[in-house]
Amino acid sequence: MAEVNYTEDSIRSLDWREHIRLRPGMYIGKLGDGSSTDDGIYILVKEIIDNSIDEYVMGNGKTIEIKVSDHKVVVRDYGRGIPLGKVIDCVSKINTGGKYDSKAFQKSVGLNGVGTKAANALSSYFKVQSVREGQMKTAEFEQGVLTIDSPIIETSQRNGTLVTFVPDDTIFRNYHFIPEYLENLIWNYVYLNAGLTIHFNGQKYYSENGLKDLLARKIDEESQRYPIVHLKGEDIEVALTHGNEYGEEYYSFVNGQYTTQGGTHLAAFREAVVKTVREFYKKDYDASDIRASIVGAISVRVQEPVFESQTKTKLGSQNIGPDGPTVRNFVVDFLKEHLDNFLHKNPQTADALKRRIEQSERERKDMAGIKKLANQRAKKANLHNKKLRDCRLHFDVDKSEKALLTTLFITEGDSASGSITKSRNVETEAVFSLRGKPLNCFGLKKKVVYENEEFNLLQHALNIEESIEDLRYNRVVIATDADVDGMHIRLLLLTFFLQFFPDLVKNGHVFILETPLFRVRNKKETIYCYNETEKQQAMRKLGKNPEITRFKGLGEISPDEFGKFIGDNIRLEPVILKNEMSIQKILTYYMGKNTPERQQFIIENLKIEKDLVEDAEEVEVYA
C-alpha cells in the first residue's frame, strides 16, 4: 500500500455550506429519491414547515400555505416574520436563530439552528422573504451561496415568512415527491395543532379533535373494538383503541415532531397502558396480551428536547423540562390517573377492552406449542446458509442513518437471487430466496405463519416474530418478475404482510422493486427502460436500428447489469395504504371469492393481459 503523506496541507477547514454538502447525512439522514418517508427531500420540507409551526405555537399566525409542484416547494406563514436585519444570517449562518432564546420560543422542535441552513445549502435555488410591519426583505441563494441581496422595501403584505426552494438534483438524484407522504405530513401537523389551518396545493387541512381525529383516520369505525379513548392534559395528549389486526401501531410526537422511532415518551406510554390496565382489572395480564392489536397516539411538549439525531426521529430527553419530572413519570402518572378514570366512567369500553385482552391471551396460549416447533424447524433449516444471504449491518441493532439503507430483497427462484446476491452491497443488502409460489393466506389464522415453512423462515429472516420493533431491515423489497406469475407472487406476499404484519406496510417498510423491461443499445450507449414510453424515447435518442431486448424475468439479467439498477439508481415503488382503505376490505376484494365488483374490475382491465401478450410477441420480432 502506498504511503500517504500526512502534513499540515492535509488539514482542511470547510465553511458551513461545504460541510453540509459534503456530509448531508449528518444533517438530514439518508438522501434517497423520495420513495421512503424518511428520505432527505421530506426532511427539507419539514425543516421549513417546523419554523412556521413554531410561530403558530407561540401564538402567531393561524394559517400556513404550502405548495409543492414538480420539484419546487413554497411555504408561507403569517407569523412575526424573521427580523429583517437577520434574514440572511438566519438561513446561511450556522447556529444562528431565535430558538436559542428560550423566552422567544418555548417548547420548540427546532433548537439547533441547522435545519433551514441545510435546506439552503442542499437546494439549487433558495429564496427567503420576510415581512414585518409594512417592510419586506428578500434574499436568494444557489447551493447556499448568496446570489441576490435585495434592499428592504415597503409592502402592503401581511407579516410572515415565505420560503421557496428547489432540492439540488446533483445531491438528490432522480428525486420525486410522493403526494401521499406529503399529505400525511400535513395531516400530522394539523392534528397536533388544534385551530391551525394549512392550505396544501389548494386543499384545506384542519382538525378540531387532535389525536382522536388522527386515529379515526388510521382505523375505520368498524374495526374499532371500542370508541377511541381521547385524553388531554397540560403538555400531553393521548388517544388509543384496539382493533382486529395483528401487532401494535403507534404514532408518537414531541413538540409537533413525528418521532418515527419513538423514544422515551413512547416507551413510557407502552408501559403506562400495561400498568393502568393491570391495576384497573386487578389482574396480572401479560403485557403482550394488553398491547396486542392496540392503535395508539401520544403527543408531549418538552422544553429543549434532546433527539438522538438531527432528523429528530427519536426522543432521548429524560426530563420534561429543566425543573420538571422525568418523561417516564410524567406519562405514567397521567395515564394512571386519566385512563383509569375513563375506564371507571365508561364500563362498556372497559368490558370491550377486557374481551380484546382475553382473546389475545387465548390466541397466545394456543400458539405456544406451534411456535416452539416452528423455531426448531427454522434452526434445522439452516436459514442463514440456504434461504438467506445476509448483510453485515442490521437495522434492529444499529439505528444510525446508514442503517436506514438496510434492505432485504425477496426473490423468486435461484437465478434471480443469484444475480442480486452477486451485485448487491454486502454491507447493507440481504437476499431471501422463495421456493415456488407462497400460500394464499387470506382468511387464515396466524398459526399458518409457523406451520408453513416459507412463511416461518421469512418471519425469522425479518426478525419480526415477537415485535416489528426488532425488524432487521429497514426496507423489505419484493423483487419478482414483471409478468403474470411475478405479479401473482407479489400479490401473495402482500397478502401475507397485510394479513399478519400490517405494521410493516403502514410504517413504510415494504417496497416493490422496479426492474427494466427493455434494454435499448447501440455500440456507444446502453439505456435501460422501465416502460413502453421510455423505450420509445431511447429508440429515438439512439437513432437507427438499435438493438432491443425484452427481459422476461430477473434471472435473465446478468449480475453486472443488475448492479446498475440496485445501486445508486435503484427504483423502488413504496406500498402505500391510503387512509380510507380498510385492510380487510382490500384483502376480501382481491383475495376472496369472485364478487361481482371484482369480476367487473377484471373485465375492465383485460387490456393488461393483452399488453403482456403483445410485449411477448414484440420480443420475438426484435430477436
pLDDT tens digit sequence for 498-513:
999 988 998 889 999 8
Separation CA 123–CA 141 (nearest Å): 8
- In the predicted model, is pLDDT for residue 536 greater than 50? yes
- In the predicted model, is pLDDT for residue 592 greater than 90? no
pLDDT at 417: 80
Phi-psi region at 529: left, alpha or beta (left = phi > 0; alpha = psi -120 to 50): beta
Taking residues 577-584, what's their average pLDDT?
73
∠ at Cα 344 (342, 346), nearest 5°?
Answer: 65
Lowest-confidence region among 34-43, 91-100, 101-110, 229-238: 101-110
Separation CA 126–CA 119 (nearest Å): 8
- In the predicted model, is pLDDT for residue 343 greater than 90? yes
Tell how strand 135-142 and strand 153-154 pair up.
antiparallel
Taking the chain, what is the end-to-end CA distance rounded to the nearest angstrom? 48
- Crossing angle of helices 211-218/179-191, nearest 10°? 150
Pick 345 or 12 by higher pLDDT. Answer: 345
- Of the pLDDT bands very low, low, confident and very high (cuts 50, 70, 90), residue 585 is confident
Is the torsion defined by CA of 30, 36, 41, 46 positive or negative? negative
| Model pLDDT for residues 453-512, shown as the tens digit of each residue | 889 889 989 998 878 888 999 999 999 887 778 888 999 999 999 999 988 998 889 999
Separation CA 461–CA 473 (nearest Å): 9
∠ at Cα 98 (92, 101), nearest 5°?
Answer: 140
Residue 355 cell numbers, joined: 374481551
Mean pLDDT of the chain: 84
Query: Exposed, middle or buried: residue 428 (CB in 10 Å: 0-12, 13-18, 19+)?
Result: buried
Tell how strand 123-132 and strand 63-69 pair up.
unpaired
- In the predicted model, is pLDDT for residue 570 greater than 70? yes
The gap from C-alpha 142 to its chain's centroid, in whole angstroms, comes to 29
The gap from C-alpha 274 to its chain's centroid, in whole angstroms, comes to 27
Taking residues 183-212, what's their average pLDDT?
93
Residue 39 cell numbers, joined: 428520505
**Dihedral angle, C-alpha 186, 188, 189, 194, nearest 10 °:** 120
Taking residues 19-23, what's their average pLDDT?
87
- In the predicted model, is pLDDT for residue 516 greater than 60? yes
- Of the pLDDT bands very low, low, confident and very high (cuts 50, 70, 90), residue 618 is very low
pLDDT at 15: 78
Taking residues 573-600, what's their average pLDDT?
76
Taking residues 233-258, what's their average pLDDT?
90
pLDDT at 13: 64
Residue 404 cell numbers, joined: 436506514
pLDDT at 108: 53
Helix, strand, coil distribution of the chain in percent, nearest 5: 45, 20, 40
pLDDT at 26: 82
H helix intervals, 30-178: 40-57, 87-92, 115-121
| Model pLDDT for residues 202-233, shown as the tens digit of each residue | 999 999 999 999 999 888 888 899 999 999 99
Separation CA 615–CA 609 (nearest Å): 10
Amino acid identity, position 589: Y
DSSP per-residue codes, 568-608: TT--EEE----TT--HHHHHHHHHSS--HHHHHHHHHTHHH
- In the predicted model, is pLDDT for residue 38 greater than 90? no
Residue 387 cell numbers, joined: 434461504
Taking residues 98-102, what's their average pLDDT?
45
Separation CA 609–CA 222 (nearest Å): 36
- In the predicted model, is pLDDT for residue 98 greater than 60? no
Taking residues 312-341, what's their average pLDDT?
84
- In the predicted model, is pLDDT for residue 249 greater than 50? yes
Pick from 248, 239, 49, 71: which is nearest to 161 by CA? 49
The β-bridge partners of 148 are 140
Report the SS3 class of residue 146. Answer: strand
- Of the pLDDT bands very low, low, confident and very high (cuts 50, 70, 90), residue 555 is low
pLDDT at 385: 57
pLDDT at 102: 45
Separation CA 618–CA 323 (nearest Å): 73
DSSP class of residue 126 equals E
Pick from 400, 389, 459: which is nearest to 424 by CA? 389
| Model pLDDT for residues 261-288, shown as the tens digit of each residue | 888 899 999 999 999 999 999 999 999 9
| Model pLDDT for residues 381-419, shown as the tens digit of each residue | 655 556 888 999 988 877 677 788 899 999 987 777 888
